[in-house]
Structure 1
């Protein structure tokens, strides 16, 4: 699989990340097959979070991959922390404790990337900086990023944090594309999209922060997938037409649509199905034309000014 640089870091990562939120639903044999399939596809970047399965997903992954020092060297592991029941917590104590738990469950000595999961309005940047410095100096975390944060929240962190923010994981799909749509409606009084995120797409491009789209097949907030959904007949017709041209599945084209954007995004694929994972990985070899990209965008009901 082709690779991209992760932010300003020296890490070269697969164009597609494998999200492990659902791996906890697989039995041992299924989990082993899933992980093996990902590695065979060259997708060795695995995205976790301490809340996925209340930690079970990290344990299932470590068992499935047969974690040991030799195996660890062939993997790029990312996890997230900061969500607690009924609250968010970016305190130094919680970040450090969370990482220790993540490392124990993944059976490794270090994370390649740690993301702060969902903004904490009570964040004290100086505390985050202390946590990051401690984790970096101890060798427990090599690179740092955020998830679901807007430009001002990132800049607030960077007021104290010295490590570069290499990634920002954001919800983005063909049907959840407001970060793209609002850019078309500059100075439009009755524009079809409201700027809800402070131009985060342009901000990340300007500062070389890799956007990692999550839920690339979802519409709404986990309301369902748009592929094969009767609610989106024109979108599915357009995707199927493009898929037939490239002789791939509609799943492949939905991911290829994200990869076509020049922001050099790294979609996080959340499927636990090995065959669908293969279809997702095929997208790394397809570059949609400008005409195809815009046709798919418009077919989802996105209106150009």
Structure 2
């Protein structure tokens, strides 16, 4: 628990730095939100009045501290375009993206773990070559192209899945699965290619270790060695890579969400950038930073669960100090 609290506290400076960077970079862009909202034909008086209403006429440092103070109190402000609370926009869009991330990662694991383990267990064989080829194909094909091909085949040609749209799980579980399965597979297949290579490489290193040879020499079955000892010891780099992949998907699914017309978090962020909606952009980026921080904390916690020696080493180092 003490290490978890220390980890959370250590990310506070990162969060503050991200907030400063986001706030500063947005305000360095040319133009102003008032002109974007009112249009180029608006009078200078109307633009000045809107800037005053939005607080854009204050010094930038004062604007930053006012914004942070509101964030601390749970107020992310309202959209500069339609005056909708930013937290409401995020709460409406984030669930679809989190569902897409979760489903894509499950698809990636279902492909990567079996192929990576089998490939490592039979290095240099035709099975290894097939698994490696699948990985290379997954890394070479853009996920948006795969998504469009799936739409053409499963929606246009066969007609068994909807081409686009999103149905919340709470409203229609079957409809939700039908609308999300293609984007999940299109995204997850590419992620599986990266994970499969990490699983294979890590498993090969473990299988060549002396204690694995000893276990095999004592008569343990191949399945027991692969699944009982090798896989768990090989999971550290897999967990690290998984954390990076999930963090990258949080704001990086805008293309997939656009192709399949999913009202997700990434699309909200991009739309807000184009509309110069400062408060929404700032809110979405901060939420993204919080989610990435949470993922890093979760990955660090998984390390100690997978390999208790990591926890013992940390505790030993702290005791020495």
Please report the TM-score for the alignment, with normalisation by the length of structure 2. 0.23
TM norm structure 1 = 0.24
By relative contact order (CA 8 Å, sep 6+), the higher-ranking structure is 2
In terms of fraction of residues, the more strand-rich structure is: 1
Whose helix proportion is higher, 1 or 2? Answer: 2
Larger Rg: 2
